[in-house]
């Protein structure tokens, strides 16, 4: 992982540094569900089953794994209530909320340019769409 070959800094390696940041970011959040869960928790504490229901398409397994990772990174807090039946609440930590804030521009961007992207995509596809793939 840490190839560390940062000696290739012929010139300023601001690029390389930024690359690492992004790599870091991607490795942590570029999975299928993390940001989604963070976004949901942004509107308040939720129980496991609530998250499960709200996302629907997610499997319990992935919800659990996602929450674990987020908890591990200090983005989400997990609170177990010693009652029967068990009740576990998840919420964003301060760190998680700051992430959510940082993500928001990206969400807005997606919303704002969704159509543009669709158009570009269709245009591209029709240009070479043709021969049904294989």
Choose the stretch contacting a copy of itself; rule: CB under 8 A; options: 59-67, 81-89, 93-101.
93-101
- Are the CB atoms for 35 and 70 separated by under 8 Å? no
Distances (CA, A) of 110 to 16, 32, 41, 121, 123: 26, 16, 20, 14, 19
Q: DSSP label at 1?
A: -
Q: Does 39 bind a copy of itself (CB under 8 A)?
A: yes
Q: Does 79 bind a copy of itself (CB under 8 A)?
A: no
Instruction: Out of 45, 49, 54, 88, point to the residue binding a copy of itself (CB under 8 A).
Output: 54
Q: Does 91 bind a copy of itself (CB under 8 A)?
A: no
Residue with Cβ nearer a copy of itself (35 or 84): 35
80 binds, among DNA, a copy of itself, none (CB under 5 to 8 A by kind): DNA
Sheet-wide strand order for 46-47: 46-47, 87-92, 76-81
Q: Does 59 bind a copy of itself (CB under 8 A)?
A: no
Minimum distance, C-beta of residue 83 to DNA, in the bound complex (Å): 10
Burial of 106: CB neighbours in 10 Å, binned 0-12, 13-18, 19+: exposed
């Amino acid at each position: 992982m840490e190839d560390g070959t940062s000696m290739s800094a012929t010139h300023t390696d601001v690029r390389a540094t930024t690359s690492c940041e992004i790599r870091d970011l991607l490795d942590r959040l570029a999975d299928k569900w993390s940001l989604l869960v963070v976004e949901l928790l942004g509107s308040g504490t939720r129980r496991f089953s609530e998250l499960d229901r709200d996302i629907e398409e997610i499997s319990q397994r992935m919800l659990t794994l996602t929450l674990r990772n987020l908890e591990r990174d200090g983005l989400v807090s997990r609170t177990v209530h010693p009652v029967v039946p068990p009740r576990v609440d998840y919420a964003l930590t301060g760190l998680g909320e700051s992430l959510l804030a940082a993500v928001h521009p990206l969400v807005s961007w997606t919303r704002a340019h969704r159509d543009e992207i669709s158009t570009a995509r269709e245009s591209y596809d029709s240009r070479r769409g043709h021969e049904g793939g294989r």
